[in-house]
Structure 1
Amino acid sequence: MGVDMCSGIRLLREATGVDISMRVGVHTGNVLCGVIGLQKWQYDVWSHDVTLANHMESGGLPGRVHITEETRQHLDGAYEVEEGDGGSRDPLLEGRKTYLVIDPKAKSISRRRHTLGNHLASGETRQRASIRMSQYMQSWRTIHPFADLSNPNATHPLRPIVTPNNTFVTERQPGQSNTLLVDNGMRGSLDTMDNAGRRLKKLNCLTLLFNDLSLERKFRVSEVKGLHHSISCTAFVFVTIFAVQILVSKNDFEMAVSYGVTFPVFVLLLSIAFTGYLEKWRSKMPLVVQWISGLSRGVSSRAVLRLFVVVLCLLITLLMAFLNLIFIPGNNCTSITDRKELEDLQLYSVPYYLYCCLLAMLGVIVFVRTCLSVKALLLTLAVVVYLALFLHVYAPRSHCLIDMLYNNGTKPGILKDPQIMSGVWLVIFYIVCLILARQDELSCRVDFLLDHCFKTEREEMETMENVNKLLLQNVLPLHVASYFIGKNIRNQDLYSQSYDCVCVMFASVPQFKEFYSESSANRDGLECMRFLNEIISDFDELLSKPKFCSVEKIKTIGSTYMAAAGLRHAPLSDEEKKVEMSYSHVRTMVEFAIALMNKLEFINTHAFNSFKLRIGINHGPVIAGVIGAHKPQYDIWGNSVNVASRMDSTGVLDKIQVTEETAQMVESVGYNVTLRGVVNVKGKGELTTYFINKDHSLPQY
């Protein structure tokens, strides 16, 4: 990986014409890895071996991979190496053997660079560099920095490479084939269907009941949509039965009484079912009668009430299919020999009542979301009663009807025998109705299961989305996280923002390096890291206070805590407001630094330690942004950040060191400062620095 990183920087240098390089240091050993703190989580590693790897980088050479003896032994001759002499560049590497890895591609790259240099004229170097840089940028594949939060198994983007003829192509990752890519939304739907298919196996194949009792209970008590349509179909069957019987029967009085009682009941049930349409006029109805509009929903959503209405409708329909047959005379027809008298008995109406019974049985299956056991019970009860009536009670009427139709002594075939065909038709309709009822039950349960699966998946997706947002907001500032959420950001247009005045603070615990040890007593340093996590977590808790709302934690570097004030506000155009906000940011950061020192003192009293903070503060312009695509990290850059870091590294324990410009602003907000003197700062020369008197309280606002 280190060799490829150096090669990648080399390719970028050739493409852009910018003289940049990379040092890589590698060491093999033991580490403690994890996340510390409550905010701005970042995965990190700690150990003495990590510190050694850091010095291997600082003691390396540009464009080379610098490794230790331990790493060379693990390479087992996979790469050629040469003496690294790291002790001459880093004092902490003295007495340790180090090596530089020889890139096996270095010779071919050197020849290509020599050939490329001969072909490039000096006058066209600048123009060619800009063109090649544009081509290089266009060859990058668009990467959504936080796409892995919702799809951790997503394939990694293709890596751009430069061919010997200076054309840019993309390299396919090893093991990646030309397979069909399924859209994430479609994949989620397929997963849901697959989950539903697996859950269908939990359905009892005989009773169609869910093995999960809680799911069965939800299905039973769930609201039934379209109940009024089922009642309307049953009412239509009821009216059809009435029409058939009124046409073939002459017992007007008995029929008038029976239907006079059942018709109002059916009209009442039908009216209740359609009261849901009154919901839109509920606000215009008097308060006394507004409850009527809720009757339909009440019946649909209450299982017991719904079952009562369904059973009542079906019982009325099944009963009225044969009730008026009782009032038709003809039980003693076998003793009548006169043909005229037989014709007056209306024996021809018996087959029509059979048709009414068959129609009533079909009316049972029009109700959806009604328990299969209830339908089976009603159908079984109906077919038993109907078979008893047509095969036993009214069997003489069938014989008389045959004698009346075939008076010459001949007997009809089986298919024309009313008694036999009555039993055949009733059994056939019974079986068909059971099959249809079972199919309807299965369909309803599958629909309910799919709907339940989709709701569960939606809830899980919403939960995961909220968790991802919280996680993202814990990694990035809130205003930066909102920039990325729901957007497809190109690599070239990642978040960056410049600020004119930001107060930057570095607070370190130098004594922690001496405190940290790797022994069996503290579980190879794990207990030390637990204590550091408690310190950083307590520091993070201070950020939740309203007065520190403008302070943003940037990151932790080992035992150093980095924060900045003034990043949450949009850049201002008004100069007066800029000055006011600058003073406010400095005052807030000083108060936060003092709060950190007080918090550490409180921790010391409970942990019996004597840790002290060393703090450096500076203010000025910075650039904030997010770098990286697979491990994006929010950070700030600028000379002000570097100086703040130097104020910490050159500071004194239990002191807050600031530059002269920052000291003037600190004094203007009510704090006293003490001149330290001139300090030699690496990369900046000699700077005059001051210490803030933290004992001074009650700053002027």
Structure 2
Amino acid sequence: MPKLFDRATGNIFMPQFDSEILEKSYRHATFMQAKRHVQYALCYILLACAVWIAYFAIGQDTDWIGFLITASSCFAVSLGLLMMTCYINRPKHLKWISWILVVILCGCSIAANAAGGSDDAIRSMSPIARFTVTAEVLLIIYTALPITPLICLVIGVIFSIVQLVVNVLLPPGNYNASIIISWVFLHLCVHILGFHISIVTEVRAHSTFWRVCQSIIAKQRLENERKLKENMILSVMPKLFADKFIKTEDENSQILFKKSSAFRELHMMRMDNVSILYADIVGFTRMSSNKRADELVSLLNNLFSRFDALTQKHNCEKIAILGDCYYCVSGCPETVSSHADDTVDMGLDMIVAIQKFDEDTGNDVNMRVGVHTGTVLCGVLGVKRVKFDVWSNDVSLANTMEAGGEPGFVHATQETYDNLSPGKYRIRVDENPGRRREGLAGMTTYLISGKIDNQNDPLSSLDKNSRNINSDNGINITTNKNNQELKPSDRLPNALLHPVRPSAQKTSRAPSSGVRTSFSNGGKANSPSGIDSSRPSIDISTHRSGSTIEERDTSDVRFNLPRESTTYDALNVPGVGAGTRRTSRSAYRRSSHSSIFSRLIRDRSHRTEDDKQLADLLREERADETYFVKTKLNRLTLFFNTPTIETEYRRDGLADLSQPFSKMSYGSLRYSFFLDTLISISTFAMLSGFLFLVTDVDKLEAWTIIFIVAAVLEIIIFITAVLLAFTNVLPHKFQLMCVSWYPRHIISLLLVILPVLIVFTDFTDCSRIGDVNAFQAYCTAATIIIVHHCNFMRLWSIAKSAIACLVTVALLLTVKLDYCVPNPNLISTASPLTTTLLSTVSAGTISPTQFDKWKNERILDVILLVILVVFLNWLFEVAVRVNFNSSLEAMKHRKKNAVLKDQATDLLANIFPDHVIQRLNTSQSYSQNIESAGVIFASLVNFYEFYSENFAGGQECIRVLHELVSEFDELLDKEEFKKVEKIKTIGSTFMAAAGLNSDQVDEEPDQHLFDLMEFVIAMQEAVTKFNQDMLQFDFILRVGYNCGPLTAGVIGTSKMMYDIWGDTVNIASRMDSTGTPGRVQVSERANRVLQPKFDFEYRGQIQVKGKGNMRTYLLKGRRTDFDMIN
């Protein structure tokens, strides 16, 4: 048997969730819906009671007062209960009202059955009406009250037994076994149909609730994915600028860059009145000379964390760390009127901070700061490893101001000086010609030593409540004592370094983003926890599969959402912090030593915890309001207002065929069709048995023919339903036809009509139309066929209700129109069973007047019954459509979520290499020593000649650089360069490396180094091709190449990035800065490794800062005696 629904206990008689927490949440979420159903039932009861009260009052038969009192009592109590439902707000109160209603309905119905005279011939309420009322009471109990199916079944069976006992014990009481069996048949038909409806309704309600949960969870996850995407973008650029990239409404668009017309989209803007700060550590080479790499990383992380805190304090935007050079801006990308003051304050506080750093660490370093105010172009270049940067001649000048400054002072230009607040700083003109550099000649510059008010150390307030702790990777991180527990993001490696940077070689007014053609090691650290940073932090470590409630195996627990194959699957459910998430769970699951018993205990504990989180989420999302209201249906037809959704709904059966049998649920279309067919054929069989018993033997011939034809059709359809539900032997086209909208309706409606045919076959026989006994028998059977229209709950309710109304009209016309001469004394032709059936004429005959009254009463019976059936059909279809809509919403959110996950995956891959992402899934930090890696620096050495700010402020020149850098980036998508990783672009310099993924193993140990050189050659070819499209200008590419050991890792918190550092990187940078334009210069070590596949020419010995004279070589080309990569 298929599962009832996800997370069901498996008890078909009491469909419930396997968690008390979930079941309680279900009751609360569906409370308003259940209350409306009870109110609908009470309204119907009030209508029925009012009609019967009027009927009894007008008819005034001998026992009419007893019936009137019974109906009036039921009306009064029902009205009181209806008023009470308007004020209750808890499920248990509604349950009490439901129980009271059950008692009143059953009591009044039994009282009505027992009321009146001792002879049915003179009772105000006929046996037909009493049975119809019984059927209506059973339908209300089974379908409209919030009572579990098993309890409904027990109540219904007891109620039916009491009714039968009352019929047997009260006068006349002379009934044989055949009569009682006939009664049992009739009651059994109602119970089978009602119990089936009760189970399906309860299962569908639970399933709908679960799908609402899925939808809410998917919606929450979607929101988290959007936030993650936004944080990823914010991790590489400021918020104001990042708004252009955050396209939450257009999930199908490319996130960062797309090529439009001849050019790729360039995200760049020009801003005036921007102050640029460059700060360089004086004495860094001396400090780093006697320290290991991890020690140096720890020290710089400590220092730069203080600087990061200061950027928040002084409204500065950190741009990057270039080795030991830290640079930031103010007034970009958001306009700040105090930009000059902010950068000078930042510089002064950096000087104070480094003095404090010296005291804390026992080092002797200082800070040289340069500040200039002017115009910048800000934005991003390329399509891979993008980061926010600034370019302009003014940026170059700020770089030069730092190099020409004095340690312990802020070196400011005239433009900055003019924008400072008067009388705020101690300022003197810089008159030392020894610090004059190319680019500063003839300029008046100023040295700022501090503020006149001599404010206190800006970091003193931080140090009072902070302490240095040692992270897992050996990095000292400043953290607040009041928050001892670090977030996972706080434990990421935060101070990995660039190669050593020499003094600026070119000081011409070329556009600069702070490029120095080689770099010293530097990094960026966490902000001290005492500073409230508004910068986003991407917690990669918490975005791992299996770490949160909705991403674990849904066959075990949770939300039955498909696990996406991504590397960050977390849904941060409100109330669950990243630092408190159950990381021990993954360790437990990896352990092979946990016993099965302990695993079951832990899984149960985890499930309970997850269910509590889900319950909290449902309360926050107010699921009780979204459970029904948000389904937009046409009030008349119940079609979805959105045509596309209606089309999807009608095609739901086709999607159901694609599901394997193992995943088929109780509410799936195929199994639902099988159950409905089973109920239909059972009703048909019992109704046929009843009719066989009450039909005159002489009249069986015509009835038997109709019965055989109908039975054959029932059996054929039932066999088809069985094969469709449990096998795959039927042809696929035939399966599609069976579950399609119109064929399914035709087949189902045929099953609804077949019982009608066998009832009406004898009902229209003139020889029996006047037989009072036959009249009652067939009217009672007609009650069953009308009730049977509640079956097939997935059908269009209007179609079923329309047929029910037509059957009702036909029944009333047959009853009311005397097209045959009535013969109330016609008993001789009736069968012995019919003669005594339903205690009608056992004590005598019925007068024509009483017979006419019963016909009028039958009109009321049938109209009230058909109203109930039409209402229930409407209710059932609404439930089916709500269930579908909930599933559709959940699927829609999952699809959006999948798109955003793909986008976030691309964004994450833009920040980190794949192997780093995989490592961050299982570790909260990343750094690795690489034994053999290749590093290149490729510079467009004549870009400064091309750059001009005379047109569009230089933006079009940057567009050209963006195009060329993007060409380099797209080369990395080729299969032959899969081992090459772009590190960054710094101005017009492109930095890349190969061999950084130690998990990649090649038969040729140096293959990654050969691939990197092939990439360099491809870059040269790309420049050549690019130059062909340029007008009157040829860019020249100069490349430096080196190989050897290095360290790789993730740096930063506000702007995380992947970076490499070490002596290998330093030398690669020197190979570029000392190289020959248009050529590739390599070190002696690289020459030895690459010689088997490439030809080189010896250049000679060159002076390299920090290394002395080095032997270098220039690439001539590929060797011709082996197969190369094309």
TM-score, normalised relative to structure 1: 0.77
Q: What is the aligned counterpart of 1:321 among 759, 765, 769?
A: 759
- Contact kept, 8 Å, 1:619 with 1:662, in 2: the verdict is yes
Q: What is the aligned counterpart of 2:1021 among 598, 623, 629?
A: 598
- Contact kept, 8 Å, 2:824 with 2:848, in 1: the verdict is no
> 1:189-204 alignment to 2 at 5 Å?
200=630, 202-204=632-634
Q: Give, as a single letter, the amino acid of the residue that structure 2 aligns with 1:107.
A: N
Q: CA deviation at 1:259?
A: 1.5
SS of residue in 1 equivalent to 2:767: coil
* Gap change, CA 1:143 and 1:9, over 3 Å in 2: farther
- Contact kept, 8 Å, 1:616 with 1:645, in 2: the verdict is yes
Q: Distance in 2 between matches of 1:569 and 1:115?
A: 43
Q: Distance in 1 between matches of 2:628 and 2:369?
A: 51
Q: CA deviation at 1:59?
A: 5.1
Q: Distance in 2 between matches of 1:194 and 1:409?
A: 57
Q: Distance in 1 between matches of 2:490 and 2:743?
A: 54
Q: Distance in 1 between matches of 2:777 and 2:409?
A: 101
- Contact kept, 8 Å, 1:368 with 1:440, in 2: the verdict is yes
SS of residue in 2 equivalent to 1:417: helix
- Contact kept, 8 Å, 1:60 with 1:86, in 2: the verdict is no
- Contact kept, 8 Å, 2:825 with 2:845, in 1: the verdict is no
Q: Distance in 2 between matches of 1:303 and 1:682?
A: 80
Query: Does 2:667 align with 1:245?
Result: no
Q: What is the aligned counterpart of 2:983 among 554, 561, 573?
A: 554
- Contact kept, 8 Å, 2:977 with 2:1011, in 1: the verdict is yes
Q: What is the aligned counterpart of 1:218 among 648, 668, 672?
A: 648
Moved more, 239-248 or 379-388: 239-248
Q: Distance in 2 between matches of 1:547 and 1:509?
A: 24
- Contact kept, 8 Å, 1:26 with 1:68, in 2: the verdict is yes
Q: Give, as a single letter, the amino acid of the residue that structure 1 aligns with 2:987.
A: G
1:592-618: CA deviations, max 9, x gaps? 333322321222222131221122222
Q: Distance in 1 between matches of 2:1014 and 2:459?
A: 56
Q: Distance in 1 between matches of 2:440 and 2:823?
A: 114
- Contact kept, 8 Å, 1:615 with 1:655, in 2: the verdict is yes
Q: Give, as a single letter, the amino acid of the residue that structure 1 aligns with 2:456.
A: K
Q: Give, as a single letter, the amino acid of the residue that structure 1 aligns with 2:964.
A: I
Q: Give, as a single letter, the amino acid of the residue that structure 1 aligns with 2:764.
A: I
Q: CA deviation at 1:312?
A: 0.9
Q: Distance in 2 between matches of 1:93 and 1:438?
A: 85
> 1:608-627 alignment to 2 at 5 Å?
608=1031, 609-627=1033-1051
Q: Distance in 2 between matches of 1:173 and 1:538?
A: 36
Moved more, 619-628 or 83-92: 83-92
1:584-641: CA deviations, max 9, x gaps? 4444444433332232122222213122112222222111111123422111101111
* Gap change, CA 1:545 and 1:462, over 3 Å in 2: closer
SS of residue in 1 equivalent to 2:456: helix
- Contact kept, 8 Å, 1:503 with 1:620, in 2: the verdict is yes
Q: CA deviation at 1:21?
A: 6.6
Q: CA deviation at 1:61?
A: 6.5
- Contact kept, 8 Å, 2:631 with 2:885, in 1: the verdict is no
Q: Distance in 2 between matches of 1:195 and 1:24?
A: 59
Structure 1, unpaired ranges of 5+ = 117-125, 147-156, 162-169, 283-289, 334-345
> 1:211-290 alignment to 2 at 5 Å?
211-223=641-653, 224-225=669-670, 226-250=672-696, 251-276=699-724, 278-279=726-727, 290=729
Q: Distance in 2 between matches of 1:195 and 1:19?
A: 65
* Gap change, CA 1:90 and 1:646, over 3 Å in 2: farther
- 2:887 aligns with 451
- Contact kept, 8 Å, 1:203 with 1:209, in 2: the verdict is yes
- Contact kept, 8 Å, 2:411 with 2:445, in 1: the verdict is no
Q: Give, as a single letter, the amino acid of the residue that structure 2 aligns with 1:307.
A: H
* Gap change, CA 1:244 and 1:509, over 3 Å in 2: same
Q: What is the aligned counterpart of 2:744 among 306, 328, 347?
A: 306
Q: CA deviation at 1:665?
A: 4.0
- 1:2 aligns with 311
Q: CA deviation at 1:456?
A: 1.3
SS of residue in 2 equivalent to 1:686: strand
- Contact kept, 8 Å, 1:145 with 1:632, in 2: the verdict is no
- 1:353 aligns with 778
- 1:167 aligns with none
Q: Distance in 2 between matches of 1:217 and 1:544?
A: 41
Q: CA deviation at 1:18?
A: 6.0
Q: Give, as a single letter, the amino acid of the residue that structure 2 aligns with 1:140.
A: L
Q: What is the aligned counterpart of 1:371 among 793, 796, 800?
A: 796
Q: Distance in 1 between matches of 2:823 and 2:402?
A: 107
- 1:392 aligns with 817
- Contact kept, 8 Å, 2:477 with 2:528, in 1: the verdict is no
- Contact kept, 8 Å, 1:15 with 1:133, in 2: the verdict is no
- Contact kept, 8 Å, 2:366 with 2:408, in 1: the verdict is yes
- Contact kept, 8 Å, 1:566 with 1:585, in 2: the verdict is yes
- 1:381 aligns with 806
SS of residue in 1 equivalent to 2:1077: coil
Q: Give, as a single letter, the amino acid of the residue that structure 2 aligns with 1:357.
A: A
* Gap change, CA 1:499 and 1:383, over 3 Å in 2: same
SS of residue in 2 equivalent to 1:561: strand
Query: Does 2:1109 align with 1:686?
Result: yes
- Percent identity over the alignment is 28
- 2:387 aligns with 42
* Gap change, CA 1:320 and 1:72, over 3 Å in 2: farther
Q: Distance in 2 between matches of 1:396 and 1:641?
A: 112
Q: What is the aligned counterpart of 1:291 among 708, 711, 730?
A: 730
Q: CA deviation at 1:375?
A: 1.4
SS of residue in 2 equivalent to 1:140: coil
1:479-519: CA deviations, max 9, x gaps? 223223xx2643xxx21111222221111012111211223
SS of residue in 2 equivalent to 1:379: helix
Moved more, 473-482 or 15-24: 15-24
- Contact kept, 8 Å, 1:604 with 1:610, in 2: the verdict is yes
Q: Distance in 1 between matches of 2:736 and 2:369?
A: 73
Q: Give, as a single letter, the amino acid of the residue that structure 1 aligns with 2:711.
A: F
How many residue pairs are counted as aligned between the two chains?
A: 628
Q: Distance in 2 between matches of 1:264 and 1:378?
A: 22
- 2:508 aligns with none
- 1:516 aligns with 947
- Contact kept, 8 Å, 2:1093 with 2:1119, in 1: the verdict is no
Moved more, 224-233 or 465-474: 465-474
Query: Does 2:896 align with 1:460?
Result: yes
Q: Distance in 2 between matches of 1:693 and 1:16?
A: 49
Query: Does 2:1005 align with 1:581?
Result: yes
- Contact kept, 8 Å, 1:35 with 1:41, in 2: the verdict is yes
Q: What is the aligned counterpart of 1:474 among 910, 914, 918?
A: 910
Q: Give, as a single letter, the amino acid of the residue that structure 1 aligns with 2:867.
A: I
Q: Distance in 1 between matches of 2:700 and 2:712?
A: 18
- Contact kept, 8 Å, 2:479 with 2:528, in 1: the verdict is no
TM-score, normalised relative to structure 2: 0.50
* Gap change, CA 1:133 and 1:379, over 3 Å in 2: closer
Q: Distance in 2 between matches of 1:86 and 1:270?
A: 103
What's the Cα RMSD here?
Answer: 4.4
Q: What is the aligned counterpart of 1:107 among 441, 456, 470?
A: 456
Q: Distance in 2 between matches of 1:319 and 1:329?
A: 18
More relative contact order in 1 or in 2 (CA 8 Å, sep 6+)?
Answer: 2
SS of residue in 2 equivalent to 1:321: helix
Query: Does 2:1096 align with 1:672?
Result: yes
